[in-house]
Amino acid sequence: MKSLRQIAGLGSLLVLAAPGMWLWARGQDPQTNSPSTMAQQQPPPPDVPRLSDARAKITVNTNLVVLPVTVKDRDGRLVPDLNRDEFRVFEDNVEQRIDVFTAEAFPLSMVLLIDNDLKSKQSKQVENSLDAIVGGMSNLDEAFLCRFDQYFHPGKGFTSDQDKLLTELQRTKLEGRPGLIPNDGPFDPQPKINGHAVDGSPAIPESTRVIQEQNTKALDDAVFSAAELLKDRPRNRRKIIFIVSDGLNGGRNYNKNTYDNTVKELNGHSISVFAVGIGSAFFDRRFERLSQYAHATGGDIYYAVNTESMQDFYSRITEEARNQYTLAYVPRDTNRAKDSHDIEVRVKREGLTILTKNKYYTGGLAR
């Protein structure tokens, strides 16, 4: 059933794939507008009810390795009825004792990362789907809307105000326009030549131009920047990057951050990547990078061909992320001098699929 907010906004559903907020990318000062600086300036998340014992332990004990775990049956449905005794956790092939177990829902802190460089048809489909993201949020969730193309375009910051987020989403335009739009200004449809208006008005800065349908996107950099915004959110919240994209990535020529370094940043701060791949109902090689991020961090990926499937997948992702099992343990009998540690989670019940991160880094335990 759609919420009233969704019903009210059906006229302009939007998509979640690129940094969605309207940002007038004015020659940004790298020190004042970097993701890490912006994250430090963000207000704390909304107050939550009294913490459960499990979430309180996770908040206080920074020695715990925290594992959000999704379990699905053969039909892809969430399995909600497992108990602690049905799970086994291994670190570097050494079985660990589970110190904290809970199936309770966690509030979400998420960066909505929207692809700003889609084909025209895909852009319109995404625009018409984005309102559905808000319908999947709870009052305790918070979101930071961002976009990316060859550059990362952060929005206005974390908000738990769903009306404000809905307004930001409704202002998102991804249809091959010549430039980004000021936060509160109208869209300028006038034709441009090399970034200049035909009437002689000033050029649009290079960093704000939308580069359409070219494989120049910096997906790795965008995910890394989104992780920087999330890394200091509280440990008692589920931290996710929610990407809507066609999966194209410009490679080393356009990315300063490598895939390996980005995964280290994600897993070091317990951030999971969930993605909706735009343009196909099945896995395609262009989605490989999105799939890699999802599988390495315990997230998930869905593939959408139209607005309706996008809307459905948005609600699935928020439900899945919020309702993961949470397992936590203090590492025992493994080499603590190592920088990284492999993780494996098993369940005794047969025929189930388990999604969780496959590695963690010791430098990220305190996050």
pLDDT of residue 48: 52
273 versus 360: which is more confidently predicted? 273
Taken in order 186, 189, 194, 198, the sign of the CA dihedral is negative
* pLDDT at position 45: 66
**Whether residue 164 has pLDDT greater than 80:** yes
CATH class belonging to 15-24+57-62+101-174+211-322: alpha beta
Query: Percentage of the chain with pLDDT > 90?
Result: 55
The string of pLDDT tens digits covering residues 35-56 is: 766 655 666 665 555 567 887 8
Q: Any idea which of 43-52, 107-116, 205-214, 238-247 has the lowest mean pLDDT?
A: 205-214
Please say if the pLDDT value at position 208 is more than 60: no
Q: Are 146 and 111 in contact (CB under 8 A)?
A: yes
Binned at pLDDT 50, 70 and 90, residue 171 comes out as confident
Q: How far apart are CA 239 and CA 241, in angstroms?
A: 7
Q: What's the distance, Cα to Cα, between the start and end of the chain in Å?
A: 37
Given a cut of 50, whether residue 25 has pLDDT beyond it is no
Classify strands 238-245 and 271-278 as parallel, antiparallel or unpaired: parallel
Helix orientation angle between 259-268 and 219-230, rounded to the nearest 10 degrees: 20
Burial class (CB in 10 A: 0-12, 13-18, 19+), 26: exposed
Mean pLDDT of the chain: 80
Q: Is the pTM above the cut of 0.85? A: no
Between 53-67, 196-210, 249-263, 290-304, the lowest mean confidence (pLDDT) is in 196-210
Amino acid at 14: L
Q: What is the mean pLDDT of residues 10-28?
A: 35
Task: Name which residue leads in pLDDT, 183 or 338.
Answer: 338
